[in-house]
Amino acid sequence: MFIGAMITGALVFGIWPEMWKSYGIMGGWLSAVIIIGLCWFMNHWLGLFSNPDGKIWIDQGMPIASAGIAWAIVRFGADFTDCLPTFFLLIIGGILGGIAAYYVKQHNPNFKT
């Protein structure tokens, strides 16, 4: 899990910023296809991330988030405390989205197994 997370974090912040700077919105969109798609294949399809049945899902978004913070601190000397507002607001947003998705999956017949 550690190696998969490390490569994912490195790929996202090594490639993505340069792609959007060079090719604009299309570069950023294309980065998602290249990086997120390939990393998903490695981490979740081939199973580098251990997600046993019946357990809580650990997503590759987690290393991407921690890599973004570490990358900016090391590269630009950013102050860690400055990211906390966005950090906590996104956690609130993620919880809201997760709860909404849970209720939709419980009640929508397309998700009945």
Contact positions with another protein (CB under 8 A) in 19-78: 20-25, 27-41, 44-45, 49-51, 54-76, 78
Give, as ranges, the residues between 75 and 94 that touch another protein (CB under 8 A). 75-76, 78-87, 89-94
Task: Give the list of residues 6+ apart from residue 10 with CB closer than 8 angstroms, or none.
Answer: 67
Residue 33 vs 109, nearer CB to another protein:
33
- 112: phi > 0 → left, psi -120 to 50 → alpha, else beta; which? beta
Q: Rounded to 5 degrees, what are φ and ψ at 104?
A: -65, -40
CA dist., res. 101 & res. 30, Å (int): 27
Task: Specify the residue, 81 or 109, whose C-beta has the smaller distance to another protein.
Answer: 81
Cβ of residue 112: shortest distance to another protein, in angstroms? Answer: 13
How far, in Å, CA of 62 to CA of 30, rounded?
Answer: 21
**Closer by beta carbon to another protein, 102 or else 109:** 102
CB of 85 to another protein, least distance (A): 4
